[in-house]
Amino acid sequence: MYVVRIGMDRLPVPSLEEDYIAVLEEVQPAVTEYRVYLKVAYYRAAVDPDTAKEYGIEFDHARVYWIDLEEGRYDGYFELPRSGVGDDEERHFSLIGTNQDEYLYLVAREDANRTSLLIMEPDGSVLRRRNLIIPEADIVHRNLSVSFEGVVTGLLAYPDRVDLYWWRTDRLLPTIGRGT
């Protein structure tokens, strides 16, 4: 139906005055709208406060943008919150998909057994926050996705087995305007 080419030089940046490095981390199609969601993380030079020398790059913040496929342009965005205490880079939210009402589902690993689930409105406001219990000791592969109805599915692979999980997040959603 549509082809969208997103060159690295075409990723939106928060400010032209500041030297951000934009990294496209996730792309998810909308379920009922002609749009695609992009999670873009922004990094900046890390500067030692004592010497004022740059020593690498560090995460600054992340946004979710959407592209209107019929118009072929960025149509909006919102800032993603950081998860957990300490806000290490590994603990930032990943976009896993949308449901029939275009609620966005994001997850962030909090510790060895707990993953934070964030369900957001299309305007960026938080609809629900929940914790998912996911035993991650010895995990070799983890894939989380969301269904049309809002059921989160987890495929977790360990050295000796594969576990499948389902979480009925559809029951957390408002019933007004839902297609079910």
- Whether 160 maps to a domain, the answer reads no
What mean pLDDT, rounded, does the chain reach? 87
Please tell me the distance from the alpha carbon of residue 165 to that of residue 152, in angstroms, as a whole number. 8
Q: Over 70: is that where the pLDDT of 83 sits?
A: no
Q: Residue 10: is its pLDDT beyond 60?
A: yes
The number of distinct structural domains making up the chain is: 1
Residue 8 lies in a domain: no
Q: Tell me how far apart the alpha carbons of residues 16 and 59 are, in angstroms, rounded to a whole number.
A: 17
| 171 vs 85: CA distance, rounded Å | 28
Asked if residue 84 has pLDDT above 80, the reply is no
- Report, in angstroms and rounded to the nearest whole number, the Rg of the chain calculated over CA atoms: 18
Does the pLDDT value for residue 89 go beyond 50?
no
pLDDT tens for each residue of 107-139 = 998 888 889 999 999 888 999 999 999 888 889
Sign of CA dihedral 4, 8, 9, 14: positive
In a domain, 88, yes or no: yes
The pLDDT score that the predictor gives to residue 91 is: 60
**CA pair distance 149, 163, nearest whole angstrom:** 22
Residue at 106 is within a domain: yes
Structural domain that includes position 38: 20-135
What distance in Å separates the CA atoms of residue 32 and residue 136, rounded to the nearest whole number?
33
Q: Residue 176 domain-assigned?
A: no
Residue 28 pLDDT class (50, 70, 90 cuts): very high
Whether 25 has a pLDDT exceeding 90, the answer reads: yes
